[in-house]
Chain A
Amino acid sequence: MDTAFSQEELAFRDEVRAFIAKAYDAELQARLASGEPQVYKQAVVEWQKRLHEKGWIAPNWPVEHGGTGWDATRQFIYDSERAAAGVRDVVPFGLKMVGPVLYTFGTQAQKDRFLPAILASDEWWCQGYSEPGSGSDLASLKTKAVLDGDEYVVTGAKIWTTYAQFADWIFCLVRTSNEGKKQEGISFLLIDMKSPGVKVNPIVSIDNHHSLNEVEFNDVRVPVANRIGEENKGWTYAKALLAHERTSIAGVADTKRGLNLVREYAKREVNGGKSLLADPMFQVRMSDIEIELMALEFTELRVLAAVASGGAPGAESSLLKIKGTELQQAVQSLTMEVAAYYQGVLPNDLGAEQLGHEFGSKARQSYMYGRAATVYGGSNEVQKNIIAKAVLGL
């Protein structure tokens, strides 16, 4: 048992800090905060390109495919420093989701075609799993793909597709067979969003933003060459990916940063003549969260270390997902309490000076969108079912 960093690791930490301080500049940050969708998208792409140039775009990928080859400690250090600097993690759909599926199960031709553009952020991906009738029960999905020569004809609809409006490609689970178990008739397809018959309908979410969509497929023709692995084996590939997704949803480092921000806000806030941070009741609210977070940070390290020494993220990733998202929401909720009546402010043309408050509207947006974290990536109820079955043997 030893978790102290070595000299090399400390030097690595300094290198990460120095890089972020330089590359994540104020001008870029302003564009990332933009409410203009295209400005925001371009800024995200640009930041990811800077990471790519540095060679740090894919910490979780193996070296031979363009990953960093970092061990668990370095991944942890990188993620901690990234979050502490307020840098948002990369858009997950290409780099954390379909990328690993491609390099694990894809053909050489598929890898050559898709991986470079994912690493360089030249192509934006989205995830087409959920359907109106198939959420938690994903395997019941109905969007069908019928073979016609060397193409599939895809018909159906996906829903809750994040950033489909930005996407060049969508990775989809589709039904290719109705025989046997429902999991055994699913295939994994990569579909060009520019294909005729693809239609994206926006959905505004409770944070008053547009990131969600419904994606319709009306007789969309997809080359068989865009299928990952074997027909009807898509569920296996998707499952491998879901564990990755859950681990990265935990967001421990970002939650730590969020809690530090709450501390700063609360220190400045005066309540009855005293700093809110000095209020014993508020202190209990803070420490309830911080204590859980201290534990979760080590749980995450334990999982990372197990994975690094050859294990796969398994049922523990469900634990990380449940606790991680609960703590994210707890921090968002506490930020709202600090913002008090300003928590309701919608974006407006008044500056912070006229309004009398800085972070109310931002707190509202994070809090409202944050409700989704216990729903997506497999809802927390479903995660508990997994732990009950797989870990506790119930």
Chain B
Amino acid sequence: MNFEFTEEQIMLRDSVARFIQDEYDFDMRQQIAKSAQGISQDQWGTFAELGWLSIPFAEEHGGFGGSAVDVMLVMEQLGKGLVLEPYLATVLLFGGLLQKGASAPLQAKYIPKIIDGTCLGAFAYLERQSRYELADVASTASLKGSDYVLNGEKVVVLNGANADHAIVSARTSGGQSDESGISLFLIPLDAHGVQRLGYRMMDGQLVANLVFKDVAVPAAHLVGELDQGLALMQDVVMEANMALAAEALGIMEQLNSKTLEYTKTRKQFGVAIGSFQALQHRMVDTFMAYEQTKSLLYRAVCALTDDEEDAATAVHALKVMVDRAGKLIFSEAIQLHGGMGLTDELDIGHFAKRLMMINTTFGNGDHHQAQFNALRYN
């Protein structure tokens, strides 16, 4: 039994924390959010230099060979800084799919470019109708000669507006919601027949809808087995959910500590509002919600690291907790800041919006609770 991090892990965590503190304060973050690209190439270059883009990749591709714990530590700090650069989309999703499913030549071609910061990736899986069902895929890819021809539309693609490459899910056989028959393809987004429509989300993300019209994809760009893409997606999404939860935990910590600080300094009726017991109990509740989330996060990370059978159960439980605890924490943070909490200028609302979007990424609380129920009680 050991909840200590290794010296290396502590160094990694502190290096991200220091960077956020020195180079990525809230003003800088807002400046980046308002820029045309919505992310900063300079900052991304720094991430590459500091080695953060290499963390989950195998050493043979120049990676750091890191573990789920390393990813967790980085994501928690990125959450604290509300970092906009596409770590999730490029490194964990696009990179994760390559690492786990792509052929050796594809890995050799793209992973080093992710690591040196020259490839921005995306995972295009959502469709208008699909909500939280990964298996609901209406886009199609059919074999024509030695190429596949891809048709369909993907929506709210994270990093979709800036990515140069995407891994796209498409149906190669079966009906729209069948578990088998989904395949994944790596597609350069400047390919003929790809149209992108970029738009902004409330958490500062610049996403895109991608429309594919008869896009030719060489068979060599298949990622994973033909028709067996779902299992690969689920595997990568499970780890991504853990990473999102870590990001959420960093945000929760910020919201709680900033709110606590505010209630100690804001005075009404001649006293600090933190002296009112009605508010004290609520801050105790948000403190407990944070600690419980942290415990489930650690539980999920341990299960993932040891490849335990119940890793999926732990991750579903975690995502439910992130949803419930997150809503409690950001609602209280806004409420206890009074009018100030309602302003765009203050960071509180921006932390809240990122938590909200995390909750809708790869399934909200109710979705994961249903999955949890199915695993535990059916």
Contact = CB atoms under 8 A, between A and B. Distances in A.
Contact of B268 (A137, A206, A341, A376): A137
A355 B200 CA distance: 11
A50 B128 CA distance: 41
B130 to A, nearest CB: 9
A357 B349 CA distance: 24
Interface string A13-35: 00000000000000000000000
Contacts of A343: 356, 360
Contact of A281 (B276, B339, B342, B369): B369
Interface in B181-195: none
Nearest to A346: B200
B342 A206 contact: yes
Contacts of B344: 204-206, 208
A281 B366 contact: yes
Nearest to A282: B366
Interface residues of A, number: 53
A350 B202 contact: no
B360 A137 contact: no
A149 interface: no
Contact of A204 (B200, B345, B357, B366): B345
Contacts of A340: 131-132, 360, 364
Interface string A345-370: 11010100011110000001000110
B269 interface: yes
B335 A374 contact: yes
Nearest to B349: A206
Interface residues of B, number: 49
A271 B356 contact: no
Interface string B186-213: 0000000000010111110100010000
Contacts of A285: 366
Nearest to B367: A271
Contacts of A379: 335, 338
A379 B203 CA distance: 27
A136 interface: yes
Nearest to B209: A356
A212 interface: yes
B58 to A, nearest CB: 31
Interface in A99-146: 130, 133-137, 140
Contact of A337 (B153, B209, B366): B366
A376 B352 CA distance: 19
B342 A348 contact: no
A311 interface: no
B364 A212 contact: no
A390 interface: no
Nearest to B344: A204
A364 B360 CA distance: 13
B19 to A, nearest CB: 26
B353 interface: yes
A380 B331 CA distance: 13
Contacts of B279: 381
B51 to A, nearest CB: 31
A369 B273 CA distance: 23
Given A206-B343, A345-B201, A354-B209, 7 more contacts: A135-B339, A205-B342, A282-B366, A371-B341, A375-B335, A375-B342, A384-B278
27 contacts: A135-B268, A160-B339, A203-B345, A204-B344, A205-B342, A206-B341, A206-B342, A333-B327, A336-B356, A337-B364, A342-B156, A344-B202, A344-B353, A346-B199, A348-B199, A350-B199, A355-B197, A356-B155, A369-B342, A371-B331, A372-B342, A375-B335, A375-B338, A375-B339, A375-B342, A379-B335, A381-B278
